[in-house]
Every structure is written in C-alpha cells, then in structure tokens.
A and B are shown apart, each in its own frame.
Chain A
C-alpha cells in the first residue's frame, strides 16, 4: 500500500460543561464579580487560602461560608514565567464548535480557549494570604518590569460574570 493511502480521520470532541463551583469556589467567583478577592481562613491552622479551595488539606477541614475573609487586590510575585511561544493550534471556527454541540447554544457555553501570548503566568501572594494565586500579567510594559518580588495590583475587567478572568490580569506596581 502506498503511504499516501493511509487514512486519518480529523475530528473533535466538543463538550458543553456547566461546572458547579459549590459554596466556596462559588463565593470566590462571586467576589471577583464584585472586584473583591476573598480568602478563606482555616479555623484550625489559621492559614488563609486565597484563592478559595474547598478544604484545608493539612487539617482536612471543609471550609464554611463563615470562614470567608476579604483581602486586598494586591500582592507580591513569588514566581513567574513569560510565555512567548504560541503552543496551541489555531482557534477553531466558532461555526464548527457550534455545530458540534448543537442544540446547545455556543452563546450559553462560550468556547474555552487559552490566552494569546505574550503573557506571563505569575504566582502572586495576595497580602494577608498564606497561599499563592496563579494568574496572569499582561502587556509588554508590565512583562518587562516583572521580577520575583515585584508588587502587583489587580486590573479588573469591564464586563464581569463571576469567572476567573473577571480579574483580567495583574499589573506591576
């Protein structure tokens, strides 16, 4: 058989999801919608988790709404990486995706797609938190100034829906 007779099937698996954040992640995302970073304090070890998580792992304590604390929207960069290369295939045609998930509407379940480079993935210790928040720094001006130890402040999106990217990115102070 000629090598050009070997066949390949091109396709995709597209699934509309409605992920349940539950009580704790749900509050954290609700906080972002209101331009607030909420943390959760473990009553046993007193550590403050920001962003939220369902449990304090070491204590195996399940967070409750009353453990919520409000934190400033600024912090210090503990580690970062500047993503320069585009590691992804081209973004799919919305019509292809819409067809793949019909009759669910793509407007109701927008396509999830990674951000376009360049951007930096940063690990930010929010003031008053004991964990680090993984988020982005964008813009060449910010990327140039970025160092371990840089102070950063949140830049909020105009349109907010209760999604991680309501906090659009951090900018270097």
Chain B
C-alpha cells in the first residue's frame, strides 16, 4: 500500500505560556529542532503539511499563509489541514500521505497553537457548538467532556476516584517529560481530589492546562531513510475517522469511530491483539476520564472495562503497556500541537529517543488524537521495524 514511510526527526517546543515568542518564532523553534534531530536543513524539506486548530484561538484565519514561511515553507508546496483537536494527528497523517503517495520524498508536518493569545481558549472552543442549538449554554470543551465522563461513570458504575487516579498517574509520568507544562513534585491523589469542581464531575485536576506549543515531524520515503538515520520510526498504520453529532443511538461513552480507526490502523500494521503487541500508547487524554474511554476505543479491552484495565496497573510506567509516559495531554495541551505530540512521542519511543520517559525496548507504539465534538479520531501506529 503506497511507499513505506518513516519518521526520522521530531521537534517539540516546551508547553507553557510563550510570552516572549511570537507565533512565527514558536513554529520556527519546533521546526529547527526537528531538522536538528535528523541532521537535515530547511532546504531538504520538499513540502509542508501544516496544521493549526480553530482560527478563533489566535484570531488568525488561514494561519499557514502567515506562518508557513517560518516553517521553511517558502516557495514550497504547503497546505493546511484543520480538524480541530485532532489537527496535529491529521497534519501528521497528511505528511505521511504526501510521502506515501510518491509525490514527495521529504515532508515536514507541523502543527501548533498559541492558546494564550486569546483572553480565554474557551471562547474559541465555545464557537465549536452550533450557533442555533448549543452555543447558548456551552462552556467550551470541559462541559462537553463532563457529559461524556458522567455518562461513562454512570453507565459502568465507576466512582469519581478513577478519573482522579488516571490524572495522578499522568501527572507523575509528566515529571520525566521536559516539554510538559504541569509538573508538580509529589503530586498525589489527595492533592488532586482537593481541587475545585469546575464542571461536574470534572475537577480542576481532571483537566488539561492551556499551553502554547508547536510540534514538527519529518516524514521520509523508504529509500532515503537509511542515509538519514539508523533509528527511524516506521509508519505502520494510519487512520482518521469521523462520526457525527446528532446521529441516532449516539452514546458519548462509546466512541465507535475510534474503534473503527483502531481496526483500520491495526489491519495495516498487522496487529491482532493490541494489548499484547503494542509496547506503549500515547492517548489524547485532555480530560482524565478520557484515558479510560480511549483504552476501550482503541480495543485494549471491551466497552466498560477501561477502569478494570487501569486497576491492573498494566498502563502504568511499570506495566506491560505504559500509557502516556509523557504525561499525555492532561499535562500539556496546546490543542493544535497536542495530537501531534502524541504521534511524536509514540515515534520517539520506537526510535529509542524518549529520554527519561523511554519505555525500554519499545518496538511498536500507538499515537492517538481526538477532536471535534468528541467525534474525530486519528491514530498512527509506529514500529521500529518496517
């Protein structure tokens, strides 16, 4: 199916308020780091797959028009993909297709957001809701995910502690990630549980921070890979699926479209039992409960079993399938870059370049992205082998 493609370089910026850094400078920082990571220069880049989330975050429509040159896209083929929270994943998948199709050999995928440019990211997220039905009482993403979380809790009878515990596990993992934003020494269950309730059942601890960040990945065609690196991350499977908003029988706790994406990606990657075969997963858990829901979505367990899987400790750093060694989106969420961070972290793991958050001997990894009104999902599976 198409040409084989590998990720050879990854560049990330720190997730924080970049008060000293304009948007072009932020993107340039991620891109220069990605180029340095694989020893290429901007001249080697043949095309750019650009991603950035909703315009109302920074108030810049068509941001690629302004920012592509800061990504080395001057007089190069550039297009922008925009799928909401999944955009980082969608842009990475766009980068994959640009190479796999045979059109280009070396492609940069870059995605980011500078959420601190707006007085509140929730204004931008609020405008996701339909203006005629829903925008009247929205509160951005937290309230929508609160609906999903409570549905999940009440449907399967999980108590509130599961969300908190998932949050704590991620926050503790984040201590190993130099790019994460929320790094709180000694973070524990009591600290998390004592945070204020913002959108029942979500406490402050259940939510992600607001970050500025950009992330870049360099995709290269099969025959160019070995000249650049001996530790590539081969793209083994990709999928981006969508459901809808008002479709019949929708159950917010059962993301059927994510299961579909996982099935597509596993088929491409030849994975039959993801729980056994995958070595590490990076999930877009912008809110704590989603960690459990996405376990089920990507088929690690049956519907409703996410909490039980978590209880077994399989997804802890010490478990057989660590989830979010980076701390996940719960510890750093720039939205535009977040889904690409998941892909990039997954790629770094199989490259063996994840530093203190490295899962030893990781050979097969999965990066996930979520967006829209809990209805878009992207998945990329990376392998250390073709």
**At the interface, yes or no: B274 with Cβ under 8 Å from chain A?**
no
Question: Which residue of chain A has its CB nearest to the CB of B212?
Answer: A20
| CB-CB under 8 A for A19 and B24, given A13-B127, A57-B74, A58-B74 | no
Contact of A9 among B24, B59, B119, B131 (CB under 8 A): B131
Flag if A54 contacts B59 (CB, 8 Å): no
A11 to B, closest residue via Cβ: B131
Alpha-carbon gap, A21 to B24, bound state (A): 10
The distance in angstroms between the C-alpha atoms of A54 and B132, with both chains bound, is 41
Q: Could you tell me if A54 and B25 are in contact, using CB atoms closer than 8 angstroms?
A: yes
Contacting pair A24 B22 (CB below 8 A): yes
Within 8 A of B (CB), among A1-60: 9, 11, 13, 15-26, 53-55, 57-58, 60
Task: Determine which of A11, A21, A104 lies in contact with B22 in the assembled complex, contact meaning CB atoms within 8 Å.
Answer: A21
Question: Which residue from A16, A18, A62 sits with its C-beta under 8 Å from B25?
Answer: A62
Q: Interface code A126-168, partner B: CB below 8 Å = 1, 0 otherwise?
A: 0000000000000000000000000000000000000000000
Asked if residues A18 and B117 are in contact (CB atoms below 8 Å), the reply is yes
Counting CB contacts under 8 A, is B305 at the interface?
no
Q: Is B123 positioned at the interface, with any CB of A under 8 Å from its CB?
A: yes
Q: Contacts of A22 on B, CB cut-off 8 Å?
A: 20-22, 25
Residues of B near A11 (CB, < 8 A) are: 131
Residue B357 is within 8 A (CB to CB) of chain A in the complex: no
- A60-B21 in contact (CB<8A): no
Q: Are B119 and A20 in contact (CB under 8 A)?
A: no
What are 16 A-B contacts defined by CB distance under 8 Å? A9-B131, A13-B127, A15-B119, A17-B119, A20-B19, A20-B20, A20-B22, A20-B117, A22-B21, A22-B25, A24-B22, A54-B24, A54-B28, A55-B69, A60-B72, A62-B32
Extra contacts, 10 of them, besides A55-B24, A55-B70 (Cβ < 8 A), are A11-B131, A13-B56, A15-B118, A16-B119, A17-B59, A18-B117, A20-B20, A54-B24, A57-B74, A109-B119
Interface string of A98-125 (1 = CB under 8 A from B): 0001001000010000000000000000
Q: Which residues of B contact A23 (CB under 8 A)?
A: 20-22, 25
Which residues in chain B, 116-174, are within 8 Å of chain A measured between CB atoms? 116-119, 123-124, 127, 131-132
Q: Considering residues A15, A22, A109, which has the most beta carbons from chain B within 10 angstroms of its beta carbon?
A: A15
Q: What residues on A are CB-neighbors of B32 within 8 Å?
A: 62
Residues of A within 8 A of B69 (CB): 55, 57
Residues of A within 8 A of B72 (CB): 60
A54 touches B22 (CB 8 A): yes
Residues of A within 8 A of B21 (CB): 20, 22-23
| B363 interface contact, C-beta 8 A | no
Residues of chain B with a CB closer than 8 A to A57's CB = 69, 74
- How many residues from A make CB contacts under 8 Å with B? 25
Q: How far is the CA of A17 from the CA of B114 in the complex (A)?
A: 11
Identify B132's interface contact among A9, A18, A19, A53, CB under 8 A: A9
What's the nearest-Cβ distance from chain A to residue B75, in Å? Answer: 9
What's the minimum C-beta distance from B267 to chain A, rounded to whole angstroms?
40
Per the bound structure, the CA–CA distance linking A18 and B23 in Å amounts to 12
Give the CA-CA distance A20 to B32 in the complex, in Å: 20
Contacts of A9 in B (CB 8 A): 131-132
Residues from chain A with a CB closer than 8 A to the CB of B132 are: 9
- Flag if B28 contacts A17 (CB, 8 Å): no
How far does the alpha carbon of A13 sit from the alpha carbon of B25 in the complex, in Å? 28
Chain B residues closer than 8 Å to A18, beta-carbon distance:
116-119
Q: Does chain A have a CB within 8 A of B33? A: no
Closest CB in chain B relative to A97 CB, distance in Å: 13
Contact of B58 among A19, A55, A109 (CB under 8 A): A19
Also in contact, A15 and B131, with CB within 8 A (given A24-B22, A24-B25, A54-B25): no
Which residues of chain A in 57-89 are interfacial with respect to chain B, using CB atoms and an 8 Å cutoff?
57-58, 60, 62
